[in-house]
Structure 1
Amino acid sequence: MSDQLTKVDSAIAGLSISPKDEKKNHKRNSSQTDGVWNIKDLEEKRIELVLPIETQKTGWKLNTSPSTIEDKDILKLHLVNPPVKKIDLKFPLGLEVHARNLKGVTIKDALDAIYKQFKKKADDELDKPYLAGFEWDKDESWTRLIVHQTKTPPPQQQSSNKKSKKKKGEA
């Protein structure tokens, strides 16, 4: 019985079997994706951004959902190369929206951010309701894209639906 008391006494005396204090890494591995940059790091290293040509031909109306775009494949493409976690989108009149995605901002992320700002606007409230494309001007700002708008939608490519086939058959 006296042995048990000595074990308790030794624990009280400051002897412990708990592990040593270790510094914990608070960054989550799931939120870090290889090849996706922070825009500030690209600016420091002077790595230039490249915009895919698909961003210039969406023909998307700013106050409609991005899911209305006919070519759904372009929505999955990264907005810029190399991919970034966050980028600012600046409109000519000063409005600025932020597109974010920890796995790399896609065209859909950018359109969603724009749509969030314009979804409550009526068609007659928008001076230039269609997206003409994005422009990156490293002289003005390394960390943001300029959003260009237009009054008219770009010409649509012929879609092969049933109505088009009937018209071709009649002609």
Structure 2
Amino acid sequence: MSAEVQEHSTGAPLKQVDSAIDDAPASPSESKTRHRRSSSTVSGVFNINDLEKEGVELKIALETQRLNWKVNSSPSTIEEKDALQKLLCHPPIKKIDLKFPLGLEVTARNNKGVTIKDACDAIYKQFKKKADDELESPYLAGFEWDREECYTKFIVHQKKTGDAPSSGGSKKKKGKGGDEA
């Protein structure tokens, strides 16, 4: 290798490249372009921590309050299939922690923006083995975002009974959605 270095310093072309040197990026910005998952990032989808630094206001989709979904049943049983494809909040985020009142937390992730289905899937994963009689409040009532308590988490609200399928849905549990200044 010392011969290669001498040739290179004299101006002669380098014939063999040491792999340890070849893979090193020339600058930190170049290393980002070589990251193998760079294609999975979608423009317009944010990291919640970046939004917190900028003080951006989040708005949770109202459809979450009308799902009438039992948390220990598969999200595929939800009647409103269109609502499942909607983004959980605006602006879209890659990851959100969902916090239950008793302390349990689950995380919903999607690099293209967390959808209502992603949140339901994360919740279902925790409750799928629970029997109906083990759950005090088995129905999802919606999510709440409390900027002061914890910017990076949504609080999960549950209720004891589901609404009748033909009712317009209940909005009673969501008090702090986006009215705060």
Give the alignment's TM-score, normalised by structure 1: 0.81
Separation in structure 2 between the aligned mates of residue 18 and residue 32 of structure 1, nearest angstrom = 36
Structure 2's unaligned 5+ residue stretches are 26-30, 168-181
Is 1:60 matched up with 2:69?
Answer: yes
Separation in structure 2 between the aligned mates of residue 10 and residue 70 of structure 1, nearest angstrom = 69
SS at match of 1:89: strand
Contact 2:4–2:16 under 8 Å retained in 1: no
C-alpha displacement of 1:52 = 1.3
Is 1:147 matched up with 2:156?
Answer: yes
Aligned residue for 2:55?
A: 46
Deviations 1:7-47, CA, capped at 9 Å, x for gaps? xx999945415789562434333221010000000000000
Is 1:107 matched up with 2:116?
Answer: yes
C-alpha displacement of 1:135 = 0.5
Question: Among the aligned pairs, what percent are the same residue?
Answer: 58
Give the alignment's TM-score, normalised by structure 2: 0.76
Separation in structure 2 between the aligned mates of residue 84 and residue 11 of structure 1, nearest angstrom = 49
Q: In the alignment, which of 13, 16, 27 is matched to residue 14 of structure 2?
A: 16
Opposite residue 39 of structure 1, the aligned amino acid is: I
The higher radius of gyration belongs to 1
SS at match of 2:114: coil
Q: Cα–Cα, structure 1 residues 68 and 18, in superposed 2: closer, same or farther, change >3 Å?
A: same
Q: Cα–Cα, structure 1 residues 144 and 11, in superposed 2: closer, same or farther, change >3 Å?
A: closer
Structure 1's unaligned 5+ residue stretches are 1-8, 159-171
Separation in structure 2 between the aligned mates of residue 18 and residue 54 of structure 1, nearest angstrom = 61
Aligned residue for 1:122?
A: 131
Is 1:136 matched up with 2:156?
Answer: no
